[in-house]
């Protein structure tokens, strides 16, 4: 009997491919009756690297080509880093599953073989969220935009262009580059991006995707919904240094959020505790509470 073929779409970066293969391996282990094929493509966000995302159209540039491939039926599902996805997904292309979360922490990376931080050079960082929190940790150090895939960024660091980089622990581990981590920031030092460490699997509405049940992790799903609700309520785009992180234990959730007010230049951090299944409303309520804490 001929196997049903599932074509899986991914960005063509080494990290995106490694992450997509993790999802494909899980599906293959649980559904030997399926044939899986990987199709990679370069997105606009991967091509334009000399400008920050908010200057060229935001996170949608990482999904536009993959969304088109789904709609054109060139692929059956797509795999994304959830933190790179827009907060609103099209109704016809829902997120169908959330992978078990990798380490959502941010890490400081020093040049290879270096153990001493050189504060005369900038820290390579392309995230407003990280920039804001880095200023509290290293008030005398400048940051400088860096984009591109992980390996390219590390090469620029090792060539002496930067004193350090800040990257997500999950991505480094998935590329077997965890040995490059010099310091892991605690959540008190640096609140992660909404969805950091979680992979999202997207498909077409109304089709049968029962085979993705083996991929979906309920804790990751609860965390993703709460974190994204917080950012969505604040209308936080790429230019806004907004952060959200949910920690779960059994059916309880602690949601921590950072809100930055662009008019006043002030920011506030707060948290909420409740049932994991109420995470979406927790995210909305926390966002509105923090907005009200900025004096006008």
Tokens of 74: 């060139």
Task: Output phi, psi for 40, to 5 deg.
Answer: -110, 155
Is residue 245 classed as helix, strand or coil in its secondary structure?
A: strand
The span from the CA of 245 to the CA of 258, in Å, is: 9
197: left (phi over 0), alpha (psi -120 to 50) or beta: left
Contact 286, 272 (CB under 8 A): yes
The span from the CA of 46 to the CA of 42, in Å, is: 6
> Is 250 one of the catalytic residues?
no
Is residue 47 classed as helix, strand or coil in its secondary structure?
A: helix
Tokens of 250: 């059994």
- Separation of CA 293 from chain center: 27
Residues 6 or more apart whose CB falls under 8 angstroms from that of 237 comprise 54, 58, 59
Residues 6 or more apart whose CB falls under 8 angstroms from that of 222 comprise 246, 248, 253, 276, 277, 279
Nearest by Cα to 223 from 288, 170, 280: 280
Is residue 218 classed as helix, strand or coil in its secondary structure?
A: helix
> How many residues belong to the chain?
296
Catalytic residue among 84, 92, 210, 217: 84
DSSP state of 105: -
DSSP state of 126: -
Active site residues: 84
């Amino acid at each position: 009997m001929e196997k049903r073929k599932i074509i899986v779409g991914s960005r063509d970066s080494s990290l995106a491919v490694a992450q997509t293969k993790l999802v494909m391996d899980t599906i293959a282990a649980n559904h030997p009756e399926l044939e899986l094929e990987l199709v990679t493509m370069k997105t606009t966000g991967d091509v334009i690297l000399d400008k920050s995302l908010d200057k060229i159209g935001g996170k949608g540039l990482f999904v536009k080509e993959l969304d088109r491939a789904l709609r054109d039926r060139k692929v059956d599902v797509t795999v994304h880093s959830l933190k790179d996805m827009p907060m609103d997904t099209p109704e016809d292309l829902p997120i169908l599953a959330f992978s078990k979360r990798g380490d959502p922490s941010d890490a400081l990376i020093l040049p290879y073989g270096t153990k001493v931080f050189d504060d005369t050079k900038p820290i390579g960082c392309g995230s407003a969220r990280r920039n804001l929190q880095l200023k509290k940790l290293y008030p005398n150090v400048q940051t400088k935009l860096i984009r591109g895939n992980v390996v390219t960024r590390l090469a620029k660091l090792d060539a002496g262009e930067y004193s350090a980089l800040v990257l997500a622990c999950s991505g480094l581990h998935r590329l077997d580059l965890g040995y490059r981590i010099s310091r892991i920031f605690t959540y008190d030092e640096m609140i992660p991006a909404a969805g950091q460490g979680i992979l999202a699997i997207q498909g077409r509405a109304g089709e049968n995707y029962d085979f993705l049940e083996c991929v979906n992790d309920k804790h990751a799903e609860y965390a993703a919904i709460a974190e994204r609700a917080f950012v969505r309520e604040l209308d936080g785009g790429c230019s806004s240094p907004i952060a959200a992180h949910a920690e779960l234990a059994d059916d309880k959730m602690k949601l921590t959020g950072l809100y930055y007010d662009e008019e006043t230049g002030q920011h506030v951090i707060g948290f909420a505790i409740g049932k994991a299944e109420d995470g979406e409303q927790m995210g909305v309520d926390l966002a509105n509470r923090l907005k009200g804490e900025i004096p006008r």
